[in-house]
Chain A
Amino acid sequence: MVPRCQVEILYFAKSAEITGVRSETISVPQEIKALQLWNEIETRHPGLADVRNQVIFAVRQEYVELGDQLLLLHPGDEIAIIPPISGG
């Protein structure tokens, strides 16, 4: 059984409108593939399926695509859902 930890999920822009929250703490396996993490989050907020193909993660402020990359998470890590950006 893979140990779990509490991480903070941050929502921005369209993803925040869909979930209705800006942040929440969830319990996830400390080792998890990016896409699996997305699936856990989408299970909590099914409306996020609409943006699944457009978003990227930022894990500890580094971009990670929703794919096979294995994430090594620590308690209190910040994971942001990043919809397509439009700064400037």
Chain B
Amino acid sequence: LLKDMDKVEETSKDIIKFTAEKLSVDDVSQLVTSPLCGAISLFVGTTRNNFEGKKVISLEYEAYLPMAENEIRKICSDIRQKWPVKHIAVFHRLGLVPVSEASIIIAVSSAHRAASLEAVTYAIDTLKARVPIWKKELYEESSSSWKRNKECFWATNS
């Protein structure tokens, strides 16, 4: 049995998915689970119900899909250069994401916890700076506003 365990080779996976369906933390976590890993670190981004005194009903997301996927692949590649991680999953929802629902789940597995904890932080920070995805806040009073991440690497003037 020990011989079999030594021979187990597990190709490292980068799993990137865009979907209009509700995201499941359990499903994403399962995708990065590995017998070689003692840690899975997660980030879950959810819709908050307020912005500058206005009541937010929902966020609405769109993406430049092929480029967004490629930019996330580059982030996965960067992560693998910097930290010894096993599997990486980035799931982003598109369309309407009501309050308290998840718009993004990032999951990373590693043998020991420091690598996956740091990699998840890097992933969300870099996604917010570079990946062509946009969200619009829909307010209770029927108005709306396209948001801008402070991390966005261009357009620093407001």
Contacts and interface: CB of A to CB of B under 8 A. Distances in A.
Asked if chains A and B come from one complex, the reply is yes
A88 B134 contact: no
Interface stretch (A6-14, A24-32, A35-43, A69-77): A6-14
B133 interface: yes
Chain A, interface SS category: loop
B154 A87 contact: no
Interface in B62-115: 62-64, 66-68, 70, 92, 103-104
B67 A84 contact: no
A83 B63 CA distance: 11
Contact of B134 (A53, A54, A63, A86): A86
B152 A13 contact: no
B48 interface: no
Contacts of A63: 154
Nearest to B68: A87
B88 to A, nearest CB: 15
Nearest to B126: A88
B64 A86 contact: no
Given A54-B155, A55-B155, A56-B155, A85 B133 contact: yes
A88 B67 contact: no
Give the 6 A-B CB pairs with smallest separation, nearest first: A87-B133, A84-B148, A86-B147, A13-B134, A54-B155, A61-B67
Interface of B: 45, 61-64, 66-68, 70, 92, 103-104, 124, 127-128, 130-136, 146-149, 152, 154-155, 157
